[in-house]
A and B are shown apart, each in its own frame.
Chain A
Amino acid sequence: MAGAITAHLSEKASKRPKHITESPIIRVVLIGIALLFLGLIVLLPLASIFVEAFKKGFEVYVASVTDPDAISALKLTLMTVLIAVPLNTVFGIAAAWAISKFQFRGKNVLITLIDLPFAVSPVISGLIFVLLFGAQGMFGPWLAEHDIKIIFALPGIVLATTFVTFPFIARELIPLMQAQGVQEEEAAASLGAKGWQIFWRVTLPNVKWGLLYGIILCNARAVGEFGAVSVVSGHIRGETNTLPLHIEILYNEYQFSASFAVASLLVLLALVTLIVKSLVEWKSAQQQAEE
């Protein structure tokens, strides 16, 4: 889900005047192609997950989902998300604030760096941390001496996830904050508000929907992250396997039904995220329409 598209469907787009719109046949063909493609590429695979998951009956499904390893993978995933998303929220707000409100040297470098996690392959993102904190890495010997585990443990997974999902919130907030400018904040200052008061009472309420949207996207990616986490996790069953990794292991062991059953859990998490996302989009579109 690198890079996100926000769809604000307006009435205007669907009511095009007759002289610039296409003939009914072309419209039907275009819509047909879009739906067919969507069905083949998105809906069919999605449906097949559930079909495969229930192929060997409901009991097998329940057993695979309630398997201790699956439960621990789910717990680990949620734990990672609970740490990585709040961290990125704080970093994202701070970065967006710095970029949109101040003039400083190296601003463009910072903007480019924020995009870096989108640009590099997730595998490399994971490898960076292995090279830094792994046994043969830069800090490896020192960490081993002090008995601190980062690679093949929760801290490594959280680090990799945080790295990969960092751009979502900052990227969402920067254009929003830039568009809003500093006038309201200056008004607040002239009325006697200090730095933090301005932030809590003026800046944050103005970007809340954008922020929430960024958090949701960040969350969606954090739940599903595979590449980077796969490199740093070490695939220790019941300990360092997140849901996506657990699915891969099950699949590689030919336990197809079980792997699809666990995959369906991930799909459900994604669906919840999508629903919340649509709600937020609807709400923020409503707010935009008001302004």
Chain B
Amino acid sequence: MHIEVRGISKNYNGHQAVSDVSFSIERGKLIGLLGPSGGGKSTLLRILAGLESPDAGEIYINGKLVNDVQPQQRGIGFVFQNYALFKHMNVFDNIAFGLTIRKKDKAEIKQRVDELLDLTGLRGFEKRYPHQLSGGQRQRVAFARALAPRPELLLLDEPFAAIDAKVRKELRTWLKQLISTIGITSIFVTHDQDEAVEVADEMLIVQQGRLEQQGTPVSIYTEPKTAFVAGFIGHSTVVEQPTSLRGFELTKLSVGTQAIIRPEFVEVGREQEIAFPSAAAKGTVRHIFFRGAHLELDIQVGDNRVAAHRSLDQEPLQPGEEVSVLIHRLYVVSEQSATMVENPLKVDPLPVHI
């Protein structure tokens, strides 16, 4: 299914939930709709499903304008955030709902539901009611129920939000595999970037109702197009005066321009550990946080504070210790753009030619 959205806007009592959003999605792709809470992601999803109607703009599914098509006829499966399972129906009847409503014959319904029970690993739970299931199981029932009428597009609103961290990871992997097996075009909403990066083929970053950037997780990570994306993706520190950082003194910037630095851009260590000591500045370790697989350092460099990572294998640093800080690169951001600038001093002082 090919989906095209042109200039969609939606206003709720003066609050612009979605403003002028356009994008297109190829058949079979798994799309992550990522952005901060209250940024209009769910509204966008509900507009696609036909549960809300846009104030302006057009939605095309397979080249056909569907603005005036009722949700019942759009051929879209929707998985709600809290699953919205039918409380008074057991698992079998929940999954079968979309088929019984279409008056399919009993044998056909049974066959399809059995197929989905196997697919979702819910075999043996047919007679259970939603309240007798765990969060993960309910999520699967919601998923199977949405898939039963063979929709062409599957929409998932924060599908893992209500599930505890451990099960969530398993479910993510499971969902990604399942969706690629079925080959159904899917869009899922999330505010968790790890989830989006891990699961999605392609991401749409939405903020304050606007589409900031569309692209693969890798391209969004390495080439953020806007200041918001540069700051939202990854663990970012905002630096107010980038020209005070060693190596970036000569970077041409307009007044008040900020820079964004990710921990992976920063190398911190005793002087002998740094590859390009000439490009490094002096800094002080303010705090050290244990993050399980690595240490996170909070470093004071001049008037700026930056975050950096350090491996547990390296010699431990102490809070208050003076260290060398090498900033490999940073993003210079203005209102609507983000540009990457490499540290110009990072030139090997003793080039060895073989």
Residue numbers of A with Cβ under 8 A of B are 183-184, 186-194, 197, 201-202, 205-206, 290-291
B318 to chain A, nearest CB (A): 48
Q: Does B353 contact A (CB under 8 A)?
A: no
Check A183 against B82 for contact (C-beta < 8 Å): yes
B145 to chain A, nearest CB (A): 7
Question: For window 146-199 of chain B, which residues contact chain A by CB distance below 8 Å?
Answer: 146, 148-149
Question: For window 72-92 of chain B, which residues contact chain A by CB distance below 8 Å?
Answer: 72-73, 76-78, 80, 82, 84-88
Check B88 against A190 for contact (C-beta < 8 Å): no
User: Which residues from A are CB-within-8-Å of B84?
Assistant: 183-184, 186-187
User: Which residues from B are CB-within-8-Å of A290?
Assistant: 129, 131-132
Check B87 against A192 for contact (C-beta < 8 Å): no
Q: Count chain B residues whose beta carbon lies closer than 8 angstroms to a beta carbon of A.
A: 27
Check B87 against A190 for contact (C-beta < 8 Å): no
User: Which residues from A are CB-within-8-Å of B76?
Assistant: 190
Check B88 against A191 for contact (C-beta < 8 Å): no
Check A193 against B101 for contact (C-beta < 8 Å): yes
Check A187 against B80 for contact (C-beta < 8 Å): yes
User: Which residues from B are CB-within-8-Å of A291?
Assistant: 87, 131
Known: A183-B80, A189-B51, A290-B131. A194 touches B87 (CB 8 A): no
B126 to chain A, nearest CB (A): 18
Check A189 against B129 for contact (C-beta < 8 Å): no
Taking A189-B72, A290-B131 as given, write out 6 further A-B residue pairs in contact, using a Cβ cutoff of 8 Å, ordered by the A residue number. A184-B87, A186-B51, A188-B97, A191-B101, A191-B149, A192-B98
B133 to chain A, nearest CB (A): 12
A to B CB contacts below 8 Å, 22 in the list = A184-B87, A188-B97, A188-B101, A189-B51, A189-B72, A190-B49, A190-B71, A190-B76, A190-B77, A190-B146, A191-B97, A191-B98, A191-B101, A192-B149, A193-B72, A193-B97, A194-B72, A201-B101, A202-B86, A205-B88, A206-B87, A290-B129
Q: Does B291 contact A (CB under 8 A)?
A: no
B305 to chain A, nearest CB (A): 44
User: Which residues from B are CB-within-8-Å of A206?
Assistant: 87-88
Q: How far is the CA of A187 from the CA of B83 in the complex (A)?
A: 9
User: Which residues from B are CB-within-8-Å of A184?
Assistant: 84-87
User: Which residues from A are CB-within-8-Å of B51?
Assistant: 186, 189-190
Give 5 nearest A-B pairs by CB, closest first: A191-B98, A183-B84, A187-B84, A190-B78, A205-B88
User: Which residues from A are CB-within-8-Å of B88?
Assistant: 205-206
Q: How far is the CA of A206 from the CA of B149 in the complex (A)?
A: 23
Check B86 against A197 for contact (C-beta < 8 Å): no
Residue of A nearest to B74 (CB): A190
A226 to chain B, nearest CB (A): 39
User: Which residues from B are CB-within-8-Å of A201?
Assistant: 86, 97, 101
A208 to chain B, nearest CB (A): 8
Q: Does B15 contact A (CB under 8 A)?
A: no
Q: How far is the CA of A75 from the CA of B86 in the complex (A)?
A: 42
Known: A202-B86, A291-B87, A291-B131. A186 touches B80 (CB 8 A): yes
A35 to chain B, nearest CB (A): 37
Residue of A nearest to B142 (CB): A187
Q: How far is the CA of A197 from the CA of B101 in the complex (A)?
A: 8
